[in-house]
Amino acid sequence: MALFSKEYGNLGDERLMELVVRGDERAFGALYDRYSRRLLSYFHRMLWNDREKAQDYLQDLFAKLAQRPASYDPSRPFQTWLFSVANNMCKNAYRHEEVVRAAARELRHGVDREEARDGIDVDHERFRGRLDQELARLDPDHKATFVMRYHEDMAIKEIAAVFGCSEGTVKSRLFYTLKKLAERMKEFDPNALHHGKA
CA dist., res. 92 & res. 19, Å (int) = 29
Instruction: Give the Cα-Cα-Cα angle 69, 156, 28 (nearest 5 degrees).
Output: 20
Residue 121 or 139: which CB sits closer to another protein? 121
Fill in the DSSP letter of residue 48: T
Looking at residue 51, the DSSP 8-state letter turns out to be H
Q: Which of residues 95 and 186 has its CB atom nearest to another protein in the complex?
A: 186
Instruction: Give 140's DSSP letter.
Output: H
- Which range touches another protein (CB under 8 A), out of 22-30, 80-88, 93-101, 105-113? 22-30
DSSP assignment, residue 154? Answer: -
Stretch that binds another protein, among 27-35, 80-88, 101-109, 158-166 (CB under 8 A): 27-35
Q: Which is nearer to another protein, 29 or 164 (CB)?
A: 29
Site string for another protein, 120-139 (x = CB under 8 A): xx--x--xx--x--------
What's the start-to-end Cα distance of the chain, in Å?
56
The 10 Å Cβ neighbour count of residue 57 is: 23
Q: How far apart are CA 132 and CA 127, in angstroms?
A: 8
Does 41 bind another protein (CB under 8 A)? Our answer is yes
Residues of the shown chain interacting with another protein in the complex, contacts defined by CB under 8 A: 1, 15, 18-19, 22-25, 28-29, 32, 36-37, 40-41, 44, 51, 54-55, 58-59, 62-63, 66-67, 120-121, 124, 127-128, 131, 150-151, 156, 168, 171-172, 174-175, 178-179, 181-183, 185-186, 188, 190, 193
